[in-house]
Structure 1
Amino acid sequence: MAGSAGVREYRERLERVRNHIRANLDGPLNLDALADIACLSRFHWHRTYRGLTGETVWQTVKRLRLHRAASELANGSAPIEQIAERSGYTNPRAFSQAFKSDYGLSPLRYRAEGGHRRYDTLSWQEAEDMFDVRIEDHEPVVIAGMPHTGPYNDVGEAFDRFSSHMAANGGWEKSAGMAAICFSDPDITPPEEIRSLAGMALKPGETPPDGLESFTLPSGRYAVLTHKGPYGELAKAYHWFYGAWLAESGESAGSAPAVERYLNLPHNTAPTELLTEIHMQLG
């Protein structure tokens, strides 16, 4: 019991650090200040952080800043110099090198040629060979996790809370993989009111661990789009899936919310290799 309580306490401390990082990506982040937020020794705390999260503090900061930059490049029109500065780079060349190291293309080329551009086509004849879409029958699936209210791009905060909870309380043996439910349509819902649930799909017959909310995805026919690439491209993937693909397929969407299943994870997978399934219920 003491060991479990100790892990929970440390996870809660590091969760405060990650929340502070997410809320202050635009500003300078100081290791000593983060140590104070964690209430841990300034000399040793970063070793604790790496031991419990699997990455260094600066790897977390870089990953989150470049994730946001990729989303802005894929979905917006802000100047690259402005995106670089927001990402903590006063030198655009240094930003370009860091971005290319993780995403395989320079920021300029990523905006013009990145994987998100695949979804700009409206022609099914051109697109059908470019995407992995399948239709399958689902049994009911329970998703258990932590609720999140706010932009989908910020759902990582809820995943952090979920991971901390699971590390302290157990229950990973019930998991059939990481997943999220997207209850709101971001095109018609104010960003501050968007609702989602971040956690895991349960194995058949398992009950949700204590302390988590759950939602049961009903049985039925589902279209499943497998997206390969950064999470910042998912907004365009949704537009294509629920627009061009749905119209050309002759199908209609059901009333169940969209579900994302994550086949690998960003802390140990390059952004270009991330695999995400979007599950759409068919009517």
Structure 2
Amino acid sequence: MNDLSHRARYEARLNRVLDHIHDHLDEPLDIDRLAEIACLSPYHWHRIYQAMHGETVAATVRRLRLHRAAGYLANGSMPLAQIAERSGYSSLQSFSRTFRAMFGMPPAQYRKRGTHSRFRPARSGDHEMVMREVVIRDVPAMQVVTVDHVGSYMQIGKAFDALMGWLAARDLLCPEMRMVGIYYDDPGAVAEAALRSKAGVVLPRAVEVAAPVSVTPLRGGRYAVLRHTGPYADMAAAYQWLYGEWLVQSGHEAADAPAFEEYLNNPKDTAPSDLVTEICLPLV
């Protein structure tokens, strides 16, 4: 670490905190333990964290737990009381109140009628099949600065946090960069613990990298692009619709290359219902 700036050293310490938070979302928030992991004074470290990450550590934990809870609701049948407990709430009522404030509806209603419900198979007289515009677009080849992630796609934020810390430590964050996630495996065919993905950014210029950061090429060519507005928890339903309904009826064929997502706004300062993601499926 001798070659890193003072800011980079702080980023490295706080990245250890973020890693711990991602890996221990089911456990109570222990401020003193996080200060110990950061190797910073318990009197001051949370102020440093907020100044560098734009939110308090409590807000980070709450945001990550609620996004994960939305995934449980959209993609499974876990009981609400169990989701509330895993999200750190002592009662279903307090969980429902906080979830509603973030997602605009209580968890039971979200499970039935959240934005993921738009991707259910169409039925006669069913008005849920809306906003199904897929655009065929020529995408240029890209060199993406990436950090690898193995495990649940819903936890790729851990890799993004590590990447953002690496970029910030080298003064490489800029308004022109584009946020990209690359996904290699089908969650329906590969065990969750073995799913491979990469958190990435496209920068306006080439940069030198070293582990754990690498440069990953993305193929250029034709892509089917589905623009989705809503929580990241909806992605599984969106993919199922894109592959299971749109692709098989479109006359197109998927190319032998991974799909990627481009994130057009930031979950730290954007309501889940307003998150905009473009799902890009490569075509032959």
Deviates more, 1:56-65 or 1:32-41: 32-41
1:37-57, Cα deviation, whole Å (9 max, x unpaired): 111111111100001111001
RMSD: 2.1
Q: 2:163, 2:172 → 1: CA distance?
A: 11
Q: Structure 1's 197 and 41: CA in aligned 2 closer, same or farther, altered over 3 A?
A: same
Structure 1 spans left out of the alignment, 5+ residues? none
1:88-120 CA-partner distances (Å, limit 9, x unpaired)? 111111100100000001001000110000111
Distance 1:278 1:81, change over 3 A: same
Q: How does 1:217-232 map to 2 (within 5 A)?
A: 217-232=218-233
Instruction: Report the equivalent of 2:172.
Output: 171
Matched, 1:270 2:271: yes
Q: Is the 8 A contact 1:132 1:227 kept in 2?
A: no
Q: Report the alpha carbon displacement of residue 22 of structure 1 after superposing the two structures with TM.
A: 1.4
Aligned to 1:35: 35
Aligned partner of 1:146 in structure 2 is 147
- Alignment partners' CA distance in 1, 2:5 and 2:266: 26
Q: Distance in 2 between matches of 1:9 and 1:175?
A: 25
Q: Where in structure 1 do 4 or more consecutive aligned residues deviate above 4 Å?
A: 1-4, 122-129
Once the 2 structures are TM-superposed, how far is the Cα of residue 270 of structure 1 from its aligned partner?
0.8
Alpha-carbon offset, residue 3 of structure 1: 10
Q: In the alignment, which residue of structure 1 is the partner of 2:99?
A: 99
Instruction: Tell me which moved more, 7-16 or 256-265.
Output: 7-16
Could you tell me how far 1:127 is from its partner in structure 2? 7.2
| Counterpart-to-counterpart distance in 1, 2:32 and 2:173 | 33
TM-score for both structures, normalised by structure 1: 0.93
CA contact (8 A) 2:142 2:217 kept: yes
Structure 2 runs not aligned, ≥5 long: none
**Structure 1 SS opposite 2:89:** coil
- How is 1:117-132 mapped onto 2 (pairs within 5 angstroms)? 117-122=117-122, 129-132=130-133
| Aligned residue pairs, count | 281
Q: Is the 8 A contact 2:263 2:276 kept in 1?
A: yes
- C-alpha deviations, 1:214-271, integer Å up to 9, x for none? 2222221111011111111101111111111111212111111001100001111111
Question: 1:45 is aligned with what amino acid?
Answer: W
Superposed, 1:111-260 pairs within 5 Å as: 111-122=111-122, 129-173=130-174, 176-203=177-204, 206-211=205-210, 212-260=213-261
SS of aligned partner of 1:207: coil
Higher helix fraction (1 or 2):
1
State the secondary structure of the residue aligned to 1:117: helix
Quick one: which amino acid aligns to residue 46 of structure 1?
H
